[in-house]
Structure 1
Amino acid sequence: MLSIDNKPSRGRGVALLCAGLFLSTASAAYAQAPAAEAEAAVDAAEAIVVTARNRAEDINDVPIPISVVSGETIAQQRVFTIADLTQRAPGLTATTPNARRTGVSLRGIGRTSGNDNMEAAVGVIVDDVFLGHVGMTYQDFTDLQQVEILRGPQGTLLGKNTSLGVLKYTSKLPSFTPEGVIELEGGLSTPSFKARGSYTNALVDDVLAFRVSFFVDKQRGDIRNVNPRGGYWHERDRWGGRAQLLFKPSDNFSLRLNLDSAETNENSNTKPFMVDPATLNDGSARTTTYSTRLARSYFGGYTPIIGSWRTIDMDQAEPLITRNRGVSVIATWDTGPFELKSISAYRTFHFDAKNDSEQTRFAIARGGTLVDTEQLSQEFRIAGSLTPSIEYQAGLYFFRIETDTTSRNLYGADAGAFYATNAQYNTLNTPTGRELLRASLANIFAFSNQNPISDSQAAFAQFDWKVTDRASITAGIRYTREQKKSNITRTSFRADGAPLVSTGNATADAIRSAQLGTDFATITGERIDDDSISWLINPNYKLTDDVLLYASASGGGKSGAVAFENNGTRRNVKPEKTTDFELGVKGQFGPLTLNLNAYYTKVRDYQNVTSEPDPSSSTGYSSRLGNIPGVKARGVEFDAALQLLDGLSLTLGGAYNKATYSDWSTATCPRSYPATVAICNNTGRQVVGAPRWTIITGFNYVGELSNSGWSVHAFANNSYRSRHNLEQLLSDYGWQKGYNLTDVGFGIIRDHGGAKTELSVVAKNVFDTRYTTSINDFSNTAPIGYDGIGARRYVGALLRTQF
């Protein structure tokens, strides 16, 4: 949402890290504007400054559809995760069951989930550094100056895999003037402890400054484990910090060192089972289901938990561990005629999941993926003016990312009785045969390892030509060269180190073979060496000093992927291509700030994870990364902010998004269809995870109490999403009904001697709406699972002091 801070303006320009611009003075994040410019501003509203085009600009002068969430809003309304951000920005959706399965989309397109060969189409950039693995976004983002959500292709300037949009995070910068903040929060509805803080000051006056920040976020889970092991799942247990140094030996040179670390170790890796259909959609009975397997006499009349939002029964899962760490060095040199900037960065991502695969109290299987990713990036930028009317930005970008990902399954003593077919179980369901059931899979460890590596080099340039005092044209181009390779290995062995030998029984060996598949030595994938071009033409016209009209045409995409079938067969994924057209108006209309935009986006060979029938799999299906021939998104979106009176602002945002498959006539049918109907025509259907309507409303009020030094603060924010399908093959069981999420808060603020203390109560999801952001269809071994259950109602008390 557009953001209006209800406090005196600190200026209109922002000295942020951007192409060719650093801190003109590092004493504050905001630079003071000239008096004439300040007087020309609308009295009721503070200018919003963005760096969407790698330079500081008033949002109303940038011909791009942008939503901005200010640092003040982030802190007061507790907007720390990408899931929180979706409630503030029209067209932005996300599913965040865990780091590896995080999926971010704009306008319904771009969502990824659980495949480390796949790159995101919605880029996330934090302090000028592109995050190459979507799991790097799975953390609390704190101590922020603001977040910008840029919709539409941004590839010419913002680079790799931004063909559908960008989330651009900007941290607060070191200052030469001491200032700090400390926050303590406790749960009133749910046991929790949360703390955040930051401090900045000079180490050497006007030359060297630092800034440090930290966060701790602990909250009891929403889902109780009824297993004797106990505990709560869907919890929060995360912490992290950031340290920055700013070295500014002269007015024209600066160097910034940034180190950050964030970690989670939380019981969050669960997907409650909701429905286990007994029949297919033609009325025919399913012969083997999750429920019928557990109804076997071996399991002693056990009744699994199906349909509960509050309870689960698990004894094999372990806390999910995620670590994100990075370092960057940003150097800026203003030569006078032009400015040079260098951004060097290194990041790591670690993910370790050990899930209870069947979510029962039996020793059936524990599965999960281990991921380690390293990325190294280097960017050089130059910015200046060719003529008084033509400005330019250009640069070079180098990027390398390497991932080691291992899918692991450890089978327990009860696995054979569960995974056996009905005929196999009946054959071995005798006193002696049950020992063979256990021997078939007990203590067997199976893993599949892949090692995707990607190198990328790019050259880019963008020009802004001021044709007249009111008319301008922006044009840009980016050439990217990429090299990709990968390999895969699959093997099985006994976890105790003993040889994996035959059980001596053909039926027991068949159970094992069906579950483990075929081992194979390392297979090298088909290498990719390809290039691509991103382009932009963006004319705009100042209708008045406060109103901008703009249009754009652009193209971009992302490279293909080295991929494999489950049996190791090489099968690469084709590159994805995007063409986009935008038409919009934005500006200040008295007390109203409005951003209105219409768009048409076409994606060819859309990369996505889907399912296909697989007789060799015990589930009957297997997941694969592939291409959907065509997707289109057409719609209208808007952001508005209305300053009603001093201290009170209303915000309204929304989107109508008709995002459909323009060509997917050969889709695999959902699993509710009989095997005789293998192909479904999904052409014309709404894209998975794309609500047709999104509406976001809110207000923010800050008012002083009779010059007493006391103020009150109140806010509310409601986001609505219409009914949409969340299952990757558009199953009838994949529908999420329309829902509202509402956050509210109220607090009192004491201003004393330049410091401020606020005591407030904040409620998230105040009406306790039950919803999910991801649904997994049923299989022969699992019911329908809600993989992305949203956080339930939380009410917390917050003490926040700024000094």
Structure 2
Amino acid sequence: MRRFNRVITAALCSTICSAMFVPAAYAQTAQAEEDSGDEPIIVTATLRAMDVQDIPLAVTAVAPEALERQGINDIKNLASISPSFNIQSSQTETQGTSIKIRGVGTTGNNTGLESSVGVFIDGVYQSRPGVALGDLVDLERLEILRGPQGTLFGRNTSAGALNVSTKRPSLSEVEGFANASYGNYNFMNLQAGVSVPITTDVAGLRVSGTWRKRDGYLKTPSGVESNNRDRYMLRGQLYVEPNADVSIRLLADYAKTDEQCCEAVIVRETELAPFSAFHGLASDGVDQSGMSALKNLSINGGPYLNGSKQWGTSAELKWDLGAAKLTSVTAYRKFDSSSTTVGGFTSNNTYTVGNGAPTSRTGILPSGDHIKTFTQELRLQGTALNDSLDWLIGGFYSSEKIRADQTMTLNADFQRTGGAFNFANAAGVNPLFALTALGNAGVPVNADGNYAENRFLQDAKSWSVFTHNVVNFTDKLSLTLGARYVNETKDASFNQLAATTGAGASACQASVNGVLAGTVPAPLRAGLIGLNCFPFATSVNLTAPTALGGGLASRLLPLPRAWSDTFKDDEITYTAQLGYKATEDLLFYAGYSHGFKSGGFNLDPQSATLQNSAAILAGLATPGGPVIVAPVYAEPDFKSEKVNQIEVGVKATLFGSIKANLALFDMKMSDFQVLEFTGVQFLTFNVHSARSTGAELELFGKLSDNISANVSATYANSRYPGDCADGVAAAALASTQRLCGSTLTNAPKFAGVVGLTYEGQVNDAGWGLLVNGNINYSDRRRTSTIPLDTNNLPIPLDYQDAYFKMNARIGLTTPDERYTFEIWGTNLNNEITRGVTANTPLRGGAGTRSRIGFVEEPRMYGMTVRAKF
């Protein structure tokens, strides 16, 4: 098998070189009437069908063929085509997925955060990146819009937008396709679709679907896998044109995933691991760690399950009223996800998230998100002043209901693990267990079985009105002006359905009693509360001792507490772009845009905890009588993010077929939204400012009748200025100060893609040959949220080193063009890279932290058979 791997890899790598040295005779003998490569690339980035070379903003248009050649099955691999685009997943794909454009984006793992990059499929907004991760099949085109797009694309596009359009049914002929693939890791993929006219030139039906399965590429020593694939999707469309002025398009889809995702490799083990035996653990829980584990794709924990079900419907009406054209897009989507994990990325029996695992508390609810979204958009557009004015006005409304369930059960190894990796031997054997006796009449309390079922509810409403107009002063000079008023309202709450309470049952309650009674040594109080009262498994109904007035303990200590709140905001986004079409093949443009991304709520149990616990406790212990100190609680909400961008660019067509586009940009963000996992909680906060400045270059087109090439490069200096902590909330000040002066996460300064493709005939028999090679490069990039630890020293393994990745494909097509046979490979040089690096939960403190890395796909290869009719 290893020999076969080497042979197939060598064969595929050689296609890159072979594409560069295709005999010139093929090009010379090509038929003169074949494609010259100068056809316009039509996109809808301005909600108008336009040649991409005539649009005064930065847009990357990707044809379905390009996606197939690069092995892109979903949006997670788009960076191999567009270096400005980056997408990463951490603990789950349904919640922990983050999209970035030009180095700017929002981190995941909190349902309350919405993406800075909006995803739109057939004109319908996908409310979270995890909702949009379905397979890409039966597409018409895919557009990556870079920079703020809030004027036309509405909600949450402060960094950019991804606009995906699927193929419409044909009204004139029956057509269809079927693709079957097999590859390493037992990869299997089936895709198929058929379009049938119901009434010729009036109505047509299209049905398509995909099924994808693959073994996981991460494994434990015992063979437990992670990062596999097991998903399918079905889509149906009905398209009706009753007359030349009206068209109706109805779409419905259903998708399901049932996968083991996403475990992580422990890339750095804590120096405290030897203390596991001291605390009575049979094992430290980590058999594989460090760079050898990363290279061998070795993990320690499991299972880690992540599944989802979703369905949606939409209706598009287009009606030519004569003086104007009306467009209506109505959509509803329901998305349900679940996740289960055991052990906190180790083999220790520390805790269980969700249900369905052997260590789950009996009857506990699943952990996951349930999102229902309704959207309605109306647009009216037309021309005036002898076509000198191309005008558009519209309105948008969305209603989103979220139910986020977070459930956790503490297991038998929880206290021993917390003691070993946070206290070493400084506090004796298993202090998290022993010290609970000080609050429970001398009897220690075991945390095994402690649990909480946390529930967050959010009801969000958004409405906006907008206009987008193109004024053509002359045939060469135009001005685009757009504006949108956005109004956002969110009502959210946190409560618990059930949890462990009472000192006799709850290790947290016993710890609270001991700390508040003063029987726990002062240096250990914070650690005892922070660990025994692990936020995701702590009751909001814990009580304070009667001697201190009773009531909820959360009024005295930083513990989870129930809350309910409302967020409201409104904003005017706007854009102005000046375009000068010097010739048919040359466009100069300059523009300014103001974007907006809604604020909201941190859906985390510790988002509204007490901030001045030390002052309150000191006041209660004041000699001569207590001094009452008013409690100060953190606010669970975070502010809206805003961005101002200047963009200057040129788009040119050279030698009739080569497109050359250059864009220079400067993005300034204020109240930039950041999420940090501290090891015990997800902290969401606003940073005063962030900035991304750079340039993008795209070259693509035909070098001859048979050979085409593409070169894309992005330079982006994405960073937090030195004053980024000005005016931030006190609860986030320490974290923000450690960000200032650093680069943004997963924002390489330089990234590039080079590709070459040959398409022509092999011989006179008419067999077609496709040879495609692609190399993408990323500069070194930060992979953690914050580069400095709480001791202000650099966090180990923050940076992912620079790398190249090579993709290749070679295919033969039958003379009748009905069948194609391909062999392909992605990441052929098998670069093992990390997308996100984070603290391993409960495993070490500042200077001794264990670190986990979420690994991107290794080398994949296989074969595909395509058929069409």
> What TM-score do the two structures reach when normalised by structure 1?
0.86
Deviates most, 354-363 or 383-392: 354-363
Structure 1 equivalent of residue 211 of structure 2: 216
- Give the Cα–Cα distance (whole angstroms) in 1 for the partners of residues 477 and 670 of structure 2: 33
Choose between structure 1 and 2: higher helix proportion: 2
Contact 2:808 2:825 in 1 (8 A): yes
1:547 equivalent to 2:613? Answer: no
Q: Note the alpha carbon deviations across 1:561-604, whole angstroms, 9 max, x for none.
A: 13474455433211211101110000211132111000011001
Equivalent position SS for 1:443: coil
Pairwise CA distance, 1:208: 1.5
Structure 1 equivalent of residue 650 of structure 2: 585
Structure 2 equivalent of residue 260 of structure 1: 253
Equivalent position SS for 2:53: helix
Aligned pair partner of 2:266 in 273, 280, 288: 273
Structure 2 vs 1, CA of residues 509 and 290 (structure 1 numbering), >3 Å: closer, same or farther?
farther
- Give the Cα–Cα distance (whole angstroms) in 2 for the partners of residues 504 and 66 of structure 1: 53
Pairwise CA distance, 1:692: 0.2
1:695 equivalent to 2:752? Answer: yes
Structure 1 equivalent of residue 79 of structure 2: 86
Equivalent position SS for 1:759: strand
How do 1:702-717 and structure 2 match up within 5 A?
702-717=759-774
- Give the Cα–Cα distance (whole angstroms) in 2 for the partners of residues 164 and 566 of structure 1: 26
Equivalent position SS for 1:662: coil
Structure 2 vs 1, CA of residues 581 and 426 (structure 1 numbering), >3 Å: closer, same or farther?
closer
Q: Note the alpha carbon deviations across 1:37-71, whole angstroms, 9 max, x for none.
A: xx999933332111101111111111111111101
Structure 2 vs 1, CA of residues 374 and 589 (structure 1 numbering), >3 Å: closer, same or farther?
same
Pairwise CA distance, 1:106: 0.7
Structure 2 equivalent of residue 390 of structure 1: 389
The amino acid of 1:214's aligned partner reads: G
Structure 1 equivalent of residue 330 of structure 2: 344
Pairwise CA distance, 1:124: 0.6
Structure 1 equivalent of residue 533 of structure 2: 514
Choose between structure 1 and 2: higher strand proportion: 1
Structure 1 equivalent of residue 352 of structure 2: 366
How do 1:215-364 and structure 2 match up within 5 A?
215-227=210-222, 230-278=223-271, 289=272, 292-293=275-276, 296-299=279-282, 303-307=286-290, 308-309=293-294, 310=296, 312=298, 317-364=303-350
Contact 2:284 2:348 in 1 (8 A): no
The amino acid of 2:838's aligned partner reads: N
The amino acid of 1:757's aligned partner reads: Y
How do 1:372-771 and structure 2 match up within 5 A?
372-388=370-386, 389-420=388-419, 421=423, 422=425, 423=427, 425-426=429-430, 440-490=446-496, 493=499, 501=505, 513-515=532-534, 516-520=537-541, 523-563=562-602, 565-568=606-609, 569=633, 570-590=635-655, 591-610=657-676, 619=679, 622-664=681-723, 666=725, 680-730=737-787, 731-752=795-816, 755-771=817-833
- Give the Cα–Cα distance (whole angstroms) in 1 for the partners of residues 41 and 277 of structure 2: 58
Contact 1:271 1:785 in 2 (8 A): no
Pairwise CA distance, 1:678: 8.0
Q: Note the alpha carbon deviations across 1:115-141, whole angstroms, 9 max, x for none.
A: 111111111111000111221122212
Deviates most, 461-470 or 357-366: 357-366
The amino acid of 2:337's aligned partner reads: F
The amino acid of 2:214's aligned partner reads: Q
Structure 2, unmatched stretches of 5+, are: 1-18, 20-31, 355-366, 515-527, 542-559, 610-632, 728-733, 788-794
Contact 1:596 1:639 in 2 (8 A): yes
Structure 1 equivalent of residue 854 of structure 2: 788
Q: Note the alpha carbon deviations across 1:278-312, whole angstroms, 9 max, x for none.
A: 3xxxxxxxxxx466346633325765332213455
- Give the Cα–Cα distance (whole angstroms) in 2 for the partners of residues 624 and 767 of structure 1: 37
Contact 2:677 2:838 in 1 (8 A): no
Contact 2:263 2:304 in 1 (8 A): no
Structure 2 vs 1, CA of residues 777 and 666 (structure 1 numbering), >3 Å: closer, same or farther?
farther
Structure 2 equivalent of residue 128 of structure 1: 123
Pairwise CA distance, 1:712: 0.5
Structure 1 equivalent of residue 191 of structure 2: 196
Pairwise CA distance, 1:261: 1.7
Structure 2 vs 1, CA of residues 84 and 41 (structure 1 numbering), >3 Å: closer, same or farther?
same
- Give the Cα–Cα distance (whole angstroms) in 2 for the partners of residues 637 and 748 of structure 1: 34
Q: Note the alpha carbon deviations across 1:693-738, whole angstroms, 9 max, x for none.
A: 0111001111112342201001111111101111111134211001
Structure 2 vs 1, CA of residues 503 and 789 (structure 1 numbering), >3 Å: closer, same or farther?
closer
- Give the Cα–Cα distance (whole angstroms) in 1 for the partners of residues 764 and 428 of structure 2: 81
Pairwise CA distance, 1:787: 4.5
Task: Give percent identity, aligned residues only.
Answer: 23
Q: Note the alpha carbon deviations across 1:664-700, whole angstroms, 9 max, x for none.
A: 55499xxxxxxxx988454332112110001110011
Structure 2 vs 1, CA of residues 300 and 273 (structure 1 numbering), >3 Å: closer, same or farther?
closer
- Length, aligned pairs only: 734
Q: Note the alpha carbon deviations across 1:506-536, whole angstroms, 9 max, x for none.
A: 6798768433445149844331222100111
Structure 2 equivalent of residue 117 of structure 1: 112
Equivalent position SS for 1:297: coil
Contact 1:525 1:562 in 2 (8 A): no
Contact 2:393 2:468 in 1 (8 A): yes
Structure 2 vs 1, CA of residues 503 and 276 (structure 1 numbering), >3 Å: closer, same or farther?
closer
Structure 2 equivalent of residue 186 of structure 1: 182
- Give the Cα–Cα distance (whole angstroms) in 2 for the partners of residues 480 and 428 of structure 1: 50
How do 1:44-55 and structure 2 match up within 5 A?
44-55=37-48
The amino acid of 1:561's aligned partner reads: G
Contact 1:518 1:567 in 2 (8 A): no
Q: Note the alpha carbon deviations across 1:68-87, whole angstroms, 9 max, x for none.
A: 11012223332122221111
- Give the Cα–Cα distance (whole angstroms) in 1 for the partners of residues 661 and 509 of structure 2: 70
Structure 2 vs 1, CA of residues 300 and 533 (structure 1 numbering), >3 Å: closer, same or farther?
closer
The amino acid of 2:700's aligned partner reads: A
Contact 1:448 1:490 in 2 (8 A): yes
Structure 2 vs 1, CA of residues 290 and 551 (structure 1 numbering), >3 Å: closer, same or farther?
farther
Equivalent position SS for 1:85: helix
The amino acid of 1:179's aligned partner reads: E
Contact 1:415 1:438 in 2 (8 A): no
Contact 2:270 2:843 in 1 (8 A): no
Contact 1:290 1:780 in 2 (8 A): no
- Give the Cα–Cα distance (whole angstroms) in 2 for the partners of residues 504 and 68 of structure 1: 55
Structure 2 vs 1, CA of residues 269 and 664 (structure 1 numbering), >3 Å: closer, same or farther?
farther
- Give the Cα–Cα distance (whole angstroms) in 2 for the partners of residues 509 and 242 of structure 1: 57
